[in-house]
């Protein structure tokens, strides 16, 4: 499902606070949602390199209202929703693999220049946001559920111009 599981670990830095997980290198499973909300609020995942949610599509990374989720070394994500907007900071340029997840881009143009694997993920770009995926040459949809690639609103754009291979969703497909 697209919502957060009722069995989610919430990590919240609110109203200028900090949650320091700077030595954490791997999230191995389960559902985890990190939110930095408010000026100078920080969730520090600065050593995190791998984030795997085996509960599928229930984990979340989001920074809003001047908050920062520091994921500057995170390269591999599985079943994680990333929500980006113009009010928070969440670095994405180092991400290489983001599978089974959701990207929601709201009014910004994030740097996903190193993203080469985005299989079984949905993309939602809105309110003039732009998502350039110039390193992505192939995409495979899900065998178990719908996936979506969608741009909504004037100026919104999903740029998949480097894509040379596309395999849609459907039962019975094997990746």
Q: What is the pTM of this model?
A: 0.90
Q: Which helix (H) or strand (E) holds 26?
A: strand 26-27
Per-residue pLDDT of the chain (175 residues; tens, 9 = 90+): 345 556 899 999 999 999 999 999 999 999 999 999 999 999 999 999 999 998 865 799 999 999 999 999 999 999 999 999 999 999 999 999 999 999 999 999 999 999 999 999 999 999 999 999 999 999 998 888 789 999 999 999 999 999 999 888 775 544 4
CA dist 87 and 17 (Å) reads 17
CA dist 130 and 12 (Å) reads 27
- Scored b (16 or more CB within 10 A) or e, 131-147 reads bbbeebeebbbbeeeeb
CA dist 12 and 70 (Å) reads 13
């Amino acid at each position: 499902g697209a919502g957060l599981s009722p069995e989610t670990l919430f990590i919240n830095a609110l109203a200028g606070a900090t949650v320091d997980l700077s030595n954490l290198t791997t999230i191995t499973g389960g559902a985890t949602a990190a939110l930095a909300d408010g000026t100078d609020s920080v969730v520090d995942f600065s050593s995190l390199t791998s984030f795997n949610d085996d509960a599928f599509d229930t984990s979340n990374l989001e920074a809003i209202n001047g908050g920062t989720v520091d994921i500057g070394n995170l390269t591999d994500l599985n079943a994680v929703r990333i929500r980006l907007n113009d009010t928070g900071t969440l670095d994405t340029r180092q991400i290489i693999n983001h599978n089974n997840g959701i990207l929601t881009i709201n009014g910004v143009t994030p740097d996903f220049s190193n993203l080469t694997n985005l299989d079984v993920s949905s993309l939602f770009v809105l309110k003039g946001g732009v998502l350039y995926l110039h390193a992505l040459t192939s995409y495979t949809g899900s065998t178990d559920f719908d996936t979506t690639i969608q741009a909504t609103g004037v100026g919104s754009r999903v740029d998949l111009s480097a894509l040379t291979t596309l395999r849609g969703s459907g039962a019975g497909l094997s990746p």
